Every structure is written in C-alpha cells, then in structure tokens.
Amino acid sequence: MNNLTKRIESAKEKWEAFQKNKEPIIYIGAASCGRAAGAVQLLAQTDRWLKENELAAKVVQVGCIGPCYLEPLVDIQMPGQPRVSYNNVTPKLLPVILGSHVGESVPYAKAAIGHFGKEPLNGIPRFFDLPMLKPQVRVVLRNCGLIDPEQIDQYLAVDGYQGFMNALKTPPDDVIGVVRRAGLRGRGGAGFPTFKKWTACRNAPGNQKYLICNADEGDPGAFMNRSLIESDPHALLEGMLIAGYAIGASHGIVYIRAEYPLAIERLYQAMQQMRDYGLLGEHILDSDFSFDIKVKEGAGAFVCGEETALIGSIEGKRGMPKSRPPFPAISGLFGCPTIINNVETLGTLPNILRNGPDWYNRFGKEGNRGTKTFSLVGKVRRQGLIEVQLGTSLREIIFDIGGGLQKPFKAIQTGGPSGGCLSEEFLDLTVDYESLTAAGSIMGSGGLIVMDEDTCVVDLAKYFLDFTQKESCGKCTPCRVGTRHMVEILTKITHGEGSAEDLLALRTLGDTIKKGALCGLGQTAPNPVLTTLRYFRNEYLEHIKEQRCRAVVCKDLIEYRVIKEKCTGCQSCVKVCPTGAISGPRSEPHNVDKTKCIKCRSCYVTCRFEAIAGDAIVIGSVEKTS
Amino acid sequence: MPETVAAILVKHSRKPENLIPILQDVQKELGYISPESVKDISRYLRISENQIFGVSSFYAQFRFTRPGRHSLKVCLGTACHVRGGATVLDTLENVLGVKCGDTTPDARFDLERVACLGCCALSPVVQIDKRIYSRVAVNKLSELLKFYE
Amino acid sequence: MTKERMLSITIDNKQIQVRSSQTILEAARDNGIVIPSLCAMEHLPPYGACRLCVVEVDGLRGFPTSCTTPVENGMVIRTGTTELKSLRQEILRLTLGEHPASCLFCGEADECKKYQGTIRKVGMTTGCRYCSNDDRCELQQLTERIGLTETSYPVYYRNFSVEKYDPFYDRDYNLCILCGRCVRVCNDVRLNATLAFKQRGKLTTIGPAFDRTHLEAGCEFCGACVDVCPTGALSPKVSKWSGKADADISTTCVYCSIGCQIRLQTKNNKVIDALPDYASSVDHGLICVKGRFAVPEYVHSAARYSNPREMTPMGYNDISWEDAITRAADRLKDVGPDQCLVMVSPELSNEDLFVAQQFARQAIGSENIGSSLMIELGDDLLPFIDLATRTEPFSVMGEAQAILAVGFDSTHGYSPIGIAVKRAARRGAFLATLNSAESNLDMLAEVSCCLDEGDWANVLDRIRLGTLEPSSTKPASDGPDAWGEEVKKIAQAFKGSAGSVVIIGEQVLTSAGRHEILQALLKIREELSCKMVVAHPYTNLCGMVAVGALAGLEPGQAVRKGASEAALPFAPRPIDFTKPRKVVYLIGEAPSSGLPECDYLIYQNALPGGFPRQPDLILPTSLFSEAAGTIINAEGRILQVREAVAPFEDSKPDWWILSRIAEKLGKGKPKYATLSAVQQEGKKQVKGVSDSRKKVEFERVSYAAVRRTDGGTDSGDSRRKRKHARYRGIALSDVVEGMKVIRRNNE
C-alpha cells in the first residue's frame, strides 16, 4: 500500500508539473471516432509542422470528450494559459491554428469552440459552458478527453484507485451495503439493483466465482462503452477490482467486441500498468485479495450481449442463451457463481466508493439514482456522447444538449433494437427506467437516435426487426420464426402491398414473441414495431391504404423526377448515375428513365451540392397514372 | 500441420474455452478458417470438427473462404441507416457487381456489412481495411475505391 | 447413495411431493400431469427451445419453460390457464411456420387417416402424404393436443434437397423444426458429435462440418438421431414407408458379443425396424449400426432359403423336410467318428449349441466339433478364450482411472463399450489408444500410439515393464526410442491408478502380430492385475464354451460352479481342418476358406455362404428374430433372444432340425420336441448357467496340453474376412445395403 501511496504522490507532482507546463501542450482527440474524422492525419501533420517551424511542444493523444460532431478536436495549451479547444479541424485549418496559437501565443478565436480556464478569454466561451455540455453531469465520463488514457499516473493523479483502496479497507459485505445505499442499478438495460445480484452471488456456495464485464456493446447506434474504455480504461478496471472484491471473485473477464481494436489495446496496456503497480494479481496491495483479469474478444454476435449467451461464448460454445433460472449469480461460467456487469455500472463504482453513497444520491431521483451516459445521434445538431442525471427530460436532451434538429422532430428511439420509438408527445418524459418501460420502450444501454421527418417509421421498424432477425441465435421458435414473419409483413407494407389485417398480425406476433421468447433479445425484439404501431399508426395506414411514404424513404413508393424548369442541364447527375438512367444533352433539361433508376440517391445528392446544378432532382411519391 | 497453425495452437492451452480465441488467431493469420486448420484444432482441443464448424459458423466474424485483397465494410448501424447507410451498400453492390457478403471476381474487395462501427456521430461510415471513412457520400464512392487495387 | 431431498410443490391446485433434482416438467410427468412439450425428452439434457411447455409460476416473471425450471419448495405452478393455452397455440403456429402443415389442417385429414391405404393416390394429388412420418408424428399429436386447427401464417419452405446420399437414413431438413433433439443425442448421449447446429437464426441448419456427408464426418450410423426426431425430417431408408408397427418385441442383438437389448418392430409378420432400449442394463440403449439398421434387411433377405434342397446332377431340387432328414441321416449313419466334422457357429444360441454338441457326440459319435473361430484363431485360440471368458463387466469403465484401448474402434460396432470409454475420458480418466490406423477414440485420448501391428507387442511389454519398474521403459532393441514418451506416460498413468482397464479390440484378432500381442496382454493381466474387457465378434463364444460345443470340452466343464468344488482348468482340443472328411456338417457356419475337403456337405443355414464348394444338402434355418433361445454375452450375462415373427417360409430352428435327424439316426439324447425340453436338459448338464440373474463365470484355461497343430489353420485370408461383421458366417455387408457402403468406405 505504501508503495502505491508514494506512486500517487509522485503522480500528483508530475501532473501538477504537467499542468504548469513550460512548453505548449497539444491535445488531439484520438479515440475511434476522432480517428475516423481524421485525427491520425492531424497528429502526423502536427509533428511535421512542429519540426518545420523548429518549435517544441508536447503532443498528447486524449480520448473522447463527448461532442463527436466537433471531431476532430485539437486543444492547445500554452504555458500559463488555459487550454483552448478547436473543433472540426481540417488539414487546411491546422497550420493556421498552430501558427497563431503555438507560433504567436494568440488563440485563434475564429476556429475555437471553448476553453478550459476560469476567466473569459478573447471572447471564447468556457468549454463546459457550451450549451451541449452545461446541462451535463460528468461522473462516469469525468476523465474522458481530459487525461491521457495511456498513463496510469494521470489516472492516479485525479484520485484514481482511491475508491478501490477505500473498498479494500471495508469488509466485502459493507461494500455491497455502500452500493445498495447509493441506489445503483445495472446500466446494461433492465436496471436491476446491482447490490441484489451481488448479494446472491456472494452468498452462493462455491470457492470459484467469476466477474464478467459485458463490453459487448452490440446495439447499433451506441458507443458509450467504447468511448469510456478508450478514454479512461482504468475507471472500468478499478470498478472491476471493487466488484470482484465485493462478490468474492478471483477472476475477472472483460468480454469485448472485436470491432473495438483501440479499446482492446488500451485495456491490455492499462492491465499491464496495474500489474506493474501491484494492482492486479496475487495479494493486491499486500492484502488478502487476489484478482486477475482476462480479455476475451467477441466474435460478432449481438445475442452475446445476453448474459447466458455471453457465458456460452466465453466457454467456447455457440452463443445461444439458456433459460433462467438457474441464474448466473448462482450457476454461471463453468457452472460457478458469476456476476455480469455492464461497463458503465463498473465505471461508476470507483466514484461511489470514493465519494460515498450520499454523494451519489445527490444525482438523479428517488429510485433512479445517479447519472447515465447516452450516445446521442441521428438527426440532432450536436451529436455525441453525453452524461446526464437520471430524470432529465427527453426535451432537455434533444433540444438543450443536442441543439434540436434542422427539420421538425419526429421520433426518438431509446434502447437500441430492443427499445421503442417514441413520438413528440413523449418529449417531456423523464428518462428513468420506469417511465421508459411504461411508454413501451426501455432504457437499454443508452443509445438515443433522433429522427426527423425524413425518417420513415415503418422502414425504421423494419430495419430494427431485420436486425434482430439476423442476429437471432435461432434457438427458440418465437424469436426465430416470429421475427421473420414480422419482417416479411413489414417488407410487404413498405412495398405498398400491406393490408389492415397485417397490422393485427403484427400485434399478435409481437405479443407472442414478447411472452414466449427465451431470452431478452427475443422478448424485447418486437418493441420497435409495437411502439411505432402505437404512436405512428397513421404512417402505417398511409403505406397500406395510399401506398404513400411521407418520408419518401420506401423505395417502391417513391420516384425520382427532374423539374424541367430548374434543371440547368449540367450533366453532373448523368455522370454519377450508376445505371445510366439519366439522359439529356448538355444545357437541356435531363430526364430520369424510371425503368432503369435504382433510386440510389447519387443524382439527388449531386444536384444539391454541385454548384452549377439547380436542385432540380426531387424525390416524391409515385404519381399514379389513372 | 502447417507451422502457422501449430504456432497458434501452442500459445493456447488445450481447454475447450480457447476455441474462439484460437479461431480468431487462425483467421488473423490465414484470413479465413480453412478445413485443414479445423482438423488441427479438433485434435488439439479434443472437440469434433463438426462442433468446431458449428461454433465458428455461428459467429459473423469467421469466414470459410479465402478473402479478397481489401475488406470493404459498410456500417448499417441505426445512425448510419437513418443517414443512408443502406443506399451506400446498394451503390457499392452496383459498382462492384457483387452482393453483400461476396468477394469480387477479381478478388479485389470483400463486400460486407457490419452492425455498428461505433462512429455513429460521423455516419454514414465505411471501413476499408483498417481505415474508417466518415460521412461518405454515395456519389464519391467510386473515387474512394480507386485508392485500393 | 444419499437419499434425495423431497420437496412439496403445487401444480394446478394439486399438491405433490417431488425430488429436489427434478424440473417442473419431470415432476409433472411423474405425477400424471401432462404439459405439452416438444424439444424435451428423457435421457436428453433440457434445452428450452420449443417453448411449448411454458407454465406460470408464482414469483417468476413471464412464462418460464417447465423443462428447464428446477422445482423449488413451495412452488405454485399453473399449466393450463387460458392465457397459457392461447400462448401455446400461437407458439405452435410459429413452429409450423417452418414445417409444411398441410397434413395437419387439411379438411380431409380425418377421412384420410381412415383410408390409409390410399397414400399413393392422395399423396400424388395433394402432396400432403409425402411425409413418411405421417400418423406417428409427434408434431401431429401435439397439434391435436394443443387444439390448433388452422394457421394464417405462411410456411417458409426452405427448399433443401432431401439428403439421400448417406447409408441407412434419409434427411429432409425441410421438415426440421430445430428442436435440437438429434444434436443433443449425438453430442451428449452418444458422445460422437457428428451433428452440430450450423449458422444461426433463420439460416440455422443441422449437420456435419462444411458440406461433408455423414459418412465422411465420422457418423456411427447408430440411428439415435432418427429415433428421437419428432418429425419426418430423419427417417430410416428401409422402414420409412412401413408406417406404424403392430408390435414391439424386446430381444437380444446377436451381431456381436455385447448382446445389446433391441426392440424389434414388427408388422404383418415382418421385422420392419429395430430400436434401442434405453432401459437396458447391458447397453443403456447405446446400440450400434448393426443392431439398429442391419436386422430387417438380413432377416428378410431375398436370398433366404425357404425349403430344404438337395443337389442333383441337374442342379438343386426342393425337397420335403422328411426327405431332407432322411438324406442327412443316411449319410451320417455309417460314418466313423473321425470321418465326420461338425462345425458350429458362435452366433448360435445356447440351446442350439447344446443340441449340436449332443448331436455330434451322441448321434454321430464324433468329438469333431469345430468352429470357424478355431480356423481363424489357430494357435491363439487358447489365449483368446482365456481373455474372452474372463472379461470384466462393462461397468468397470465407470470407475476406471486409466484406460488403454488396443486395436479398438467403436465407430461401427461395440458402441456401448466405446461410449463408456469416452465418458470415462470426459470425466477425466486417462485414455491411451494403440492402433495401426486412427480410431474414433483418438480424439479424446491423452496418448495415441499409431503404429504397425507387428510392434504392438513390444510397446505393450514396455508399458508393462514401465509400470512395474519405471526405469525400464527403454526399448528392447537398440535404435531410436520411438514411442518412448507415450509408453512412459501410459506406464505412469497405470502405475498411479488402482482401476486400470485394458480394452482389447477386434483388430487384435486380425492383426499380423496377434500371437505376441495376446501373450503381452496376458502378462499385463497377470502382472499388473489390470481389468480386461475383450470386445470380440464371436457373439455366443461364452455359451459355446459353457455348453461344451467345442472339441475337448464337456458340457459345463468350463463353468465355475462355486468355491466348494475343485477348479479344473479346461482347454478345447485342436482339430485338423486340413484332413479330408466323408461328411462335413455346417451349422450356421459358412467358412469362406479353410473348409476341409469332403464327400458330402450338409449346409444348415439361412442364406447362401460364400464358399466355393456347393453343398449337397441345404437345410433352411430360422434366424434369431424367429426362434427363441438364450446367449451368454462377453460379460457372462445370460440374455434372452425372443421370437418376434413366425419362421420364414419352411425354415426351422437349428435344435429342431438336429433333433429330427438324431431321431432318424436313433442314437443319443437329442430328440427334443420343444425348446423348453432342450432348456431343461441343458440345466441338468450345464451347471452354473441356470440362473439368468447371475453372471456365468469360467474356470481357468489350461495351457498344459498345448501343441501346435499342423497345417494352414492360420491363413491371412481368413483373418481379413473377419474384419467385416458377420452373422452365421455371412458378412452383413453382403446382405445389408448400407453396411456395403460403410465397408466400401472403410476399405
């Protein structure tokens, strides 16, 4: 323990020295999303620029701070000055920013989005005062984008592993008590009280117990877990130590998607650092607690997010769920008592153990304590990773944090493919486990997809059902056959061939699958259809009765036309059309051959963005010839 | 036994729970799961080849045919779907002349779909080999492919 | 065993006492409460996929499946609420979304059932009668029970081509509902793992790796998957169109020395199928391809003799039994004791063998009672009998800590032993194999020695020496120490464990180094006090030795009667098979080589043999499906062979024919009119085999009188022939189509 105390002291000193930097520090957000936006190229460019200009600076890769729509983000901190954040940095813009801020010590206010100081700075707002960030409460994400995820010392400097050390001084049963008083509920979806699961496992007979971290973030449209692991891996690992200690496990396993290579890399690195610091292995910090962690990569099966399927997958079997009871807390991995906790649940633990249950109780509301992270994506202006208190309304999330939409709001999908699609009337619904369930949706792991009038809800429901159908393990009949029936019916409707009976059949099927399916994947699969049927019935009826898709999405119900008056005859669309459906001589209005058109949208996009084009191509409902 | 597979096997203990990690290593090395490697794994782990095939065919990650030179993955996560991911896939199918899940006849591309690459805020995204392209536009796809031979 | 805790639960307002290890479904079943279910089945681990056995349980969320939910004290369960009933109907509708359902919901279904005879006509028109499983289909029964009369959902016909390329059974996966019974029985009960679920979701299929045939994938063709399939997806080629059986007769399979209990399915005096008996204490239902699939085609072979026949210059003439018996008696009347040879098959029943030896000794007055097994084993007959008559019960595998299987493969035979070995290996016992080619146990073996048969004895000796004295595992000869590591490992395992078992497989008997191998094995038995299990093809060898149906063995002489009587070692007397005889009488024998020259050949059997010498007199016999009796299996158990159908045409049991000839000859005792008369006499003469509950034990073999016989009794040819399973001298692969395919594949 002493050894670590020393290390913490030196880490804090190092951190302070780092903050009082003598040379410029350049932070580049290089989590997966930043990289996709071009962060790697910016890194190389920065190094080149520094060399060319013979300037010295520290370049630090940080994780994701949240507002993905601003990616790539480059922050610059000059000695004695606050850190300034620049958004949407392009290779063209970078030298300008560097030249001004690093070269001449003048923040390039024109491209800056915010700064991290206390005082006003050149008209640049404070970063955390930005409308997207101000309403947020950062508990789990407190370090994301601020510390270097590859340095355990930086984590220690911000009180990392303090929660674990507190736990180690407390009997395991009392640790469970702390979690109970904090009111923490599982962040993986259903919101089962964490302490209850833990107690069952702690009391289950058996010498060998396992703790599994479920990082198989399979929900399309959700990336909270990836961001946390990439930006602050030690927070998760510390949480695992706490949970392992509390339930009496000696082995932990992180089951993580293979599609997250950077997160996996960071985990391995962090685990090695823990080992070096005596935080992993036999007799951690000279205590009686021994714990080791292994990383298992998933192999591409959404259903493995389900507890029993996940266990099967770790055992080397097909990821097919098993009926419960017996519950994993009693008989799980290799038949031993096993706790499976979500990344966010585990990532929250260090904060609770560090600051105490009363502190955590300050957030959220009765029965729904604490904060929850969401990935806010879709047609919202400010997309990204956010963290809010439970009980925040959807309106606040979409309009205050997300900045609203460009076109009118239509719907929001919560909880991914297992969740529901909620309409405008639910905007004032507070985000908590019970309210969402009552509305026919679920909290899920935290994907929030915002849709505007360009989204067809029937198509969306079909998309989700198609997804669950493809990801169904195929074991139980209701899920395997039932979702297939539903997809077929929805396809029929999007083709304009549906009938009113189909809506009844969808309801019956949905009901049967909900009641009859073996696992959570199946039981929640019909939610997107059942909710859209409930809240957007009219759109279904339009498809069925009028063969009309008001969002002009369903291909069979739309066509591409050229408005002759607007067409400049620039031939840009002729060039991009993959099937040669558009023809017409230069400078004369073009024509779309509907028999050849595959509705790929290339011409439409080209017509909108090419300067010489005149927005002449439009998409509309098929015009009926009588 | 080819040396590559043998070298992979010795890194893992002979426990059935190592099946998936072994398969992942084999695929990393060979690009696919060959019938011969299944036989070697079967001997090593004492699981029948049939069971190994049953497990490996369950997971989307594993393939049983030699891959193309470049892997082209279209993300069809929800955010990408809402922002036109399916159209991107349609267009690629058209441009390359193959269906999703197939390899082009000249073995240049494997066209696949993925459930979510986790870059939802940058949708729609396409991954070619290790690089992720964000906010791809359907009319720019052909140009993009020219970088890969 | 500690007594299991009993719990009290309430099902549908009825309070019942149940065992704590049970699931709700099992508890209900035991108490006569029927919960509809499909994927659940006794002997198979619970799966919970069909969802039809859903129930309501107080305190449990949703609708748990009764087949997977363990009982808990005080549980309150409802099985038939309105909601459950309609949920079951809806789920069944979904099940039928993947299964052609016209046979279930056709308006003519009732009429159709009544007039089964018109399968062809109706089926041709509507297609609904194309399913061979019609009328014995569990899905049909369940649909009726659940009360579903229509479905509005479409059926996704998956358009798989029917798989007919493998022997014995066809597979139409268009009818498969993915209940997983076949996969579970193949993996969890048979431990063979040929079948696996492939792909996932709606693309899920069942079968072996890649697109291999079952034959290529190592299928045992045990048919267990066919037995458990609730639909017509899996169906036996031979019997699929036979419909429901009239009767189910338990009997003993006579195709090898294990003596599996099988249930012959009969219809219109024909055996249409043979099924395993999971309640059997001999094989626990783990029968092999021979018992499962090789019975109907053999016993109803088109080549069977229907009448006695006599060779004339113009060819064979059918004659009456009376004439046939007279001809045989005439030929045997004046023949001297050494001018005659009677050969009996080890596949005959105790009763037939008993009568045969009396017939030779008393009616003809000759001690020349031989058997093809003498020809095949030559000088190694004694060591073989020594090992075989002192085989341990198969249950020794249950506690074995170390097992060595020598020349043993259970892919297409001896599966109860093979599966017991696999189970032991799975539970953690040490398993080593010694083979010349890959065996089906190699997969689970810790150590596999695959080497030339000629070197087996050496390896066995080194194992023995190594176990006794760890430092002496060095090879006897100089040169590189091939297999040194393996020998050391096996020796170590044998040394460290009390319960070591050696399995001696059929390949030992056909191997080139047989003599040395058997000697090495005997030494291992003596010096390491290992338990030995011999898996050999000579079905009723034990019965043959017990009743004295071999030259030099008196009836009952070899049987141990109890500690009080002095134990006398026994040994059969060698016979010179090269010496020409006046009459050779083959009883259930058809040696393809080594048949001595003779003036007159009597051939008493059911099917033509493969030997070149044309018999002068053919006496058609009834087979084990037609004539009752008993056999003694390799463990010494007395097992019943029961008459399932009436004798074929004019065929007669062996004991009956011999008795009639003896009558005609007017000499000796065997003039039995009934089987029970034979059994009574047998009881008197052969002590120690009267109580079928007690195992027959044998005295030691005497090696005192061993002398090498002269002449070619040990031709390689005869050894090779034995490699294919035979019954009464006829290779099953000559009669049964599927066995032919397997044989071709093995060669």
Question: C36-94 pLDDT, tens per residue?
Answer: 999 999 999 999 999 999 999 999 989 999 999 999 999 999 999 999 999 999 999 99
What's the pTM? 0.92
* pLDDT score recorded for residue A352: 97
For position C324, which CATH number holds?
A: 3.40.50.740
Q: A17 vs A11, A23, A541, C221, CA distance in Å?
A: 10, 11, 66, 75
Q: Which amino acid is at A180?
A: R
CB C89 within 8 A of CB C58: no
With respect to residue C254, please indicate whether it lies within any of the assigned structural domains: no
Mean pLDDT computed over A324-338: 94
Judge if the upstream peptide bond of residue A328 is cis by omega within 30 degrees of 0. Answer: no
State whether C91 and A477 contact (CB < 8 Å).
yes
Which of C264, C284, C283 is closest to C275 using CA atoms? C264
Phi-psi bin for C556: left (phi > 0), alpha (psi -120 to 50), beta?
left
One domain for residues C700 and C658: yes
Percent of chain A with pLDDT over 70: 99
Does one domain contain both C115 and C61? no
Based on the domain organization, do C717 and C573 belong to the same domain? yes
Whether residue C713 is found in the same domain as residue C576: yes
Q: Token pair for residue A143?
A: 């370090």
Section A583-587 average pLDDT: 87
Span C345-354, pLDDT tens digits: 999 999 999 9
Whole-number pLDDT of residue B38:
96
* Banded pLDDT at C720 (limits 50, 70, 90): very low
Which of C180, C203, C236 terminates a domain? The answer is C236
For position A469, which CATH number holds?
A: 1.20.1440.230
Confidence of residue C480 (pLDDT cuts 50, 70, 90): low
Q: How many angstroms separate the CA of residue C97 from the nearest CA in chain A?
A: 7
**Where does residue B6 rank: exposed (0-12), middle (13-18), buried (19+ CB within 10 A)?**
exposed
Domain extent, residue A44, equals 17-128
* B46·C217 Cβ contact <8 A: no
Same-domain status, C232 and C329: no
Structural domain of C193: 111-236
Domain termination residue (choose one: A405, A435, A452): A452
A480–C204 CB contact, under 8 Å = yes
- Note whether A441 and A300 are same-domain residues: no
Mean pLDDT of A136-140: 95
Q: Is A136 inside a domain boundary? A: no
Residue C93 lies in a domain: no
Q: The domain that contains C211 carries what CATH number?
A: 3.30.70.20
Any residues with CB less than 8 A from the CB of B52 and at least 6 apart, and which? B19, B23, B38, B41, B42, B45, C209
Residue C51 touches partner A, C-beta closer than 8 Å: yes
C195 and C131 in a single domain? The answer is yes
Residue A68 lies in a domain: yes
- Is C244 in contact with C135 (CB distance < 8 Å)? yes
Q: What is the tally of structural domains in chain C? A: 3
Say if A104 falls within a structural domain.
Answer: yes
Q: What is the mean pLDDT of chain C?
A: 89
Q: Would you call C95 an interface residue with chain A, using a CB distance cutoff of 8 Å?
A: yes
CA atoms C100, C104, C108, C111: torsion sign: positive
Q: Considering CB atoms only, which of C196, C200, C218 is closest to B53?
A: C196
Q: Do the chains contact at A451 and B21, CB–CB below 8 Å?
A: no
What is the rounded distance in angstroms from the CA atom of residue C730 to the CA atom of residue C739? 12
pLDDT average, residue stretch C115-143: 65
- Asked if C217 lies within 8 A of B50 by C-beta distance, the reply is yes
Q: Express each pLDDT in C421-431 by its tens digit.
A: 999 999 999 99
More confident residue, B99 or C118: B99
Neighbours of chain C (3+ CB pairs under 8 A): A, B
In a domain, C183, yes or no: yes
Residues C42, C125, single domain; the answer is no
Looking at the predicted structure, is the pLDDT value of residue C131 above 80? Answer: no
Q: If you average pLDDT over every residue of chain A, what do you get?
A: 92
Contact A512 C94 (CB under 8 A): yes
Task: Judge whether C602 and C661 are in contact, CB under 8 Å.
Answer: no
By C-alpha distance, which of C16, C29, C22 is closest to C46?
A: C22
Read off the pLDDT of each residue in C150-165 and give the average, rounded to a whole number.
87
Task: Tell me the C-alpha distance between A545 and A498, whole Å.
Answer: 8
Residues C174 and C320 in one domain: no
Inside any domain, residue C162: yes
Residue A292 belongs to a domain: yes
Nearest CB to A578; choose among B95, B114, B116? B95
Q: pLDDT band for position B149 (50/70/90)?
A: confident
Q: How far is CA C66 from CA A312, A357, A616, C9, C465, in A?
A: 22, 41, 63, 13, 56
pLDDT of C130 reads 63
In the structure, what pLDDT confidence band is assigned to residue C713 with cuts at 50, 70 and 90?
A: very low
pLDDT digits (tens, 9 = 90+) for C261-309: 999 999 999 999 999 999 999 999 999 999 999 999 999 999 999 999 9
- Give chain C positions within 8 Å (CB) of A505: 152-153
Query: Is C511 among the domain residues?
Result: no
Q: Do C75 and C118 fall within a single domain?
A: no
Q: Which of C315, C320, C413 is nearest to C723 (CA)?
A: C413
Task: Tell me, yes or no, whether A385 and A311 share the same domain.
Answer: no
Check whether C15 has a pLDDT greater than 50. yes
Has residue C115 been placed in a domain? yes
Partner residue facing A477 (CB), from C50, C69, C203 = C50
Asked if residue A381 and residue A340 are part of one domain, the reply reads: no
> Looking at the predicted structure, is the pLDDT value of residue C133 above 60?
yes
- Same structural domain for residues C577 and C696? yes
Confidence (pLDDT) at C612:
86
Closest-CA distance of chain C to residue B46, Å: 5
pLDDT at C564 over 80: no
CA distance A233 to A269: 9
- Tokens matching residue A506: 């969808």
Give chain A positions within 8 Å (CB) of B77. 220-221
**Rounded distance, CA C466 to CA C464, Å?**
5
Confidence check: pLDDT of C118 > 90: no
Residue C149 falls within a domain, yes or no? yes
Chain B partners of C198 at a C-beta cutoff of 8 Å?
53-54, 57
Q: How far apart are CA C206 and CA C213, in angstroms?
A: 12
The Cα–Cα gap between A606 and A604 comes to 5
Amino acid found at A531: T
Q: Same domain for C575 and C719?
A: yes
Tally of domains within chain A: 5
Residues from chain B that touch A318, judged by Cβ atoms under 8 A, are 54-55, 58
Q: Confidence class of residue C121 from pLDDT cuts 50, 70 and 90?
A: very low
Contacting chains of A (3 CB pairs or more, <8 Å) are B, C
> Under a CB-based contact definition with an 8 Å cutoff, are residues A377 and A221 in contact?
yes
H helices within C24-148, ranges in order?
Answer: 24-30, 82-95, 102-105, 109-114, 119-126, 138-146
The reply to whether C15 and C117 lie within a common domain is: no
> Does A417 fall in a domain?
yes
Q: Given an 8 Å threshold on Cβ–Cβ distance, is B122 in contact with A71?
A: yes
Q: Reply yes or no on whether the pLDDT at C708 is more than 60.
A: no
**Is A249 a domain residue?**
yes
Delineate the domains of chain B, giving CATH numbers in brackets.
3-58 (no CATH), 70-145 (3.40.30.10)
Which of A325-334, B44-53, B91-100, C97-106 has the weakest average pLDDT?
Answer: C97-106
Contacts of B47 in chain C (CB under 8 A): 193
